Each structure stands twice: as structure tokens, then as C-alpha cells.
Chain A
Amino acid sequence: MINSKYFLKGYRSIKGIDSPAFALGCSFIAIGALLKNLGFNIQESIFSTFLTYALPGSLVMAESLLVGASLINIFLAVWLVNARLYPMTVSLMPLLIHKKQPRWKYYLSCHFIAVSSWLIMKSNYKSIERKHRIDFWIGIGSATWTVAIVSTVIGFLAADYLNKDMMIGLAIVNPVYFMCMMVGAMKTIQISLSVILGAVLGPLFFFISPEWSVLFGGFTAGTIAFFIGEANDK
């Protein structure tokens, strides 16, 4: 069903010095502690990372619960902040699709799409034969997912020992880690422009609409970068 050789190869990709496991772990330790402070019990905290597995979304859920937002508001806020997963999926799955592989693998494994796993796959897919890419991807996804769940537990258990300053320290790990991975991926004009314009337009659009700034800013930036990149190629 799943080729274990490629699955394990993918699973092992989180080892090594350039591995995102450390930063991913720290970010989810922060989530675990945050959820505990919000009044979640350990099952609920594990359940949350298990089912959502997207850091900004979990943060938004925590903030929304804190201010007592309605379920509709939680849904909209999370959808808006995690809508980036849509273009991420569309720009990853065509690389993995193979006609001999069953459809369910794709619909199930799309749950693993998150910044770390996505960037690992993007930088490694060429070295894997197309037919085995999906199994390799399921390996990567399972590995980063495991790290996230284990770290949530650690964070939950460590919550009482983390003071305010340490929580603030942990809170910066996720943006720093995402930022480093992004600038590390800036290898073509199109991608570099996408990243730079996105980083400028996202905050600028915040003044127009805080909720929609990521989507509007990202959409505008990505589209401009695409056209400049295409024009440059000719």
C-alpha cells in the first residue's frame, strides 16, 4: 500500500542539522503551554494538534476562545489565516500525482501540508522518482506531525514552569523559523519577488482590513511577482 522504503526515507528527512524539527518543536511547545493556560486538558490539546496541525490556525483559535468569539467567527478567522494552505496544496500536489497511486492517499495526506513539510518536499522532490513521491511525502508529513504532537504534550506538561518571558521567547520562534525558511527558498526571481512583495503588502493591507490582509496582500503580491517573473523569462 505505502512503500516503506520511501516512507522511511521521508520520515528520516527531519534528522540532520538543517532540520526544522527543533523550531517546529519549540513552536508547538508554545502551543501546548498556551492551550493549558487556556483551560484545555491534555486530551484536548493533543486532539487539537492532531486534527489541525497548522500553527497560525491553532493560535487564532486560542485567541478567539480567549475573547469568547462565536463559532462562526472562529471558523472565519481560522479559514482566513489558513487559506494560504490552498495555494500551497495546489503548488505541491501536481508534483506528487501519479496515475498508479490511489486517490485516497492524496486526500488523506493533504492534512500534512504545513510550512515545514511543504518546504522540505519542495526542496527534495526532484531526487525521488515520481511514482514514489507520494509515499516519500507521507513519510515527511508523518514525521513533522509526530514532532508537533509530541511537542504539544511537552509544552502542556511544562506550562507551569514557563514564565511570561519564556512564553514571549517561544512565541517568536515560529515567525523567525518561517522567515528563515522563506528567505532560504528565495532562489528564483519569481519566488524572491513573491516573498519580498508579500512581506511588504501583507502588513500594508493590514491598515485596510486586518482580517483580509494576508489574503489580499498575498494575492496581489504573488500575482505581480508571477507576471514580472514571466515577462523576465521571455
Chain B
Amino acid sequence: MTSNIVIAILVTSLATYLSRFLGVVSAEKIKETSKIFRWFNCLAYSTLAALIARIIIFPAGALAEADYFIRFIVIIVSLIIFYSTKKNLVYPTAFSAIILALLNYLQ
């Protein structure tokens, strides 16, 4: 293994585990019926939503190469499929990958 890749992996996993670890430390003193628990529940959902929206609107990497308008259409149609298939997760995700690859190929 190349040493700088291994170090990068270790640094990445440490930065990731840190949040999980501190989460358990804090959780020891928090009751599930408390207000603070409900607040953190809101924060979990909102930061997740903020992250997803940012990835979709301001993507990096491969996704940035797909046209903005195409991305938008694919997202909307995937959501419609998700709801019309009784919240099945396979159909919308499979659809999104195939249709985005196809539209990008045709462009």
C-alpha cells in the first residue's frame, strides 16, 4: 500500500469516527423523552437535508459534469416514482442512474 493513501484513509476515518464517538458520549446523558433529544433529532434530519440539497445543487466530481437542467428533471421524476411505487427505493434509484447516464450520453 502507498503510505500517503493509507494515511489519507486513516485521517478520513478518524475525522468520521470522531463525530460518531462524541455522539455516544453525549447520548449517555440524554433521555429520549427530553427536549434536547427532539432538538438533536431535528438537527440530524436538517443537516442531512442540507447536505443532500448541496450535493444536488452544487455537485462535485462526476455529477458536476451532468447538465443542471437534466439533473433537476431526473431528481423530480425520481421523487414522483418513489411516491407512485409506495415508497420503493429500488425503482427511483435505478431509474435515476440509467436515465442520467442515457441523457448524458445522448447530449
Query: What is the interface of chain A, defined by CB distance below 8 A to chain B?
Result: 17-20, 22-23, 26, 30, 34, 39-41, 43-44, 47-48, 51-54, 56-65, 71, 74-76, 78-79, 81-95, 97, 106-107, 110-111, 113, 115, 118, 164-185, 190-191, 193-203, 205-206, 210, 213-215, 217-219, 221-223, 225-226, 229-230
A40-B5, A170-B97 given as contacts; is B13 within 8 A of A199 (CB)? no
Interface contact A198-B79, CB-CB below 8 Å: no
Q: Which of B21, B96, B105 contacts A173 (CB 8 A)?
A: B96
Interface magnitude class on chain B? 35 or more
**Interface 1/0s, chain B 42-76, versus A by CB < 8 A?**
11111111111111111111110110000100110
Task: Give chain B nearest CB distance to A186 CB in angstroms.
Answer: 8
Interface contact B75-A74, CB-CB below 8 Å: no
B48 partner residues in chain A, CB cutoff 8 A: 84, 88, 115, 178, 182, 195, 198, 218
Closest to A110 in B: B20
Q: Which of A54, A89, A165, A183 contacts B23 (CB 8 A)?
A: A89
Of A58, A167, A172, most buried by chain B (CB within 10 Å of CB) is A172
Q: Which of A41, A47, A82 contacts B15 (CB 8 A)?
A: A82
Within the assembled complex, what's the spacing in Å between the Cα atoms of A17 and B10? 35
Interface contact A81-B51, CB-CB below 8 Å: yes
Within the assembled complex, what's the spacing in Å between the Cα atoms of A66 and B97? 24
Interface contact A194-B58, CB-CB below 8 Å: no
Within the assembled complex, what's the spacing in Å between the Cα atoms of A17 and B82? 12
Interface contact B104-A44, CB-CB below 8 Å: no
Interface contact B21-A110, CB-CB below 8 Å: yes
Within the assembled complex, what's the spacing in Å between the Cα atoms of A58 and B13? 9
Interface contact B46-A90, CB-CB below 8 Å: no
B14 partner residues in chain A, CB cutoff 8 A: 75
17 further contact pairs, Cβ within 8 A, besides A180-B87, A213-B54: A52-B16, A78-B12, A81-B51, A87-B23, A87-B41, A89-B19, A90-B37, A168-B63, A169-B104, A177-B92, A181-B89, A182-B52, A199-B50, A203-B53, A213-B50, A217-B47, A225-B45
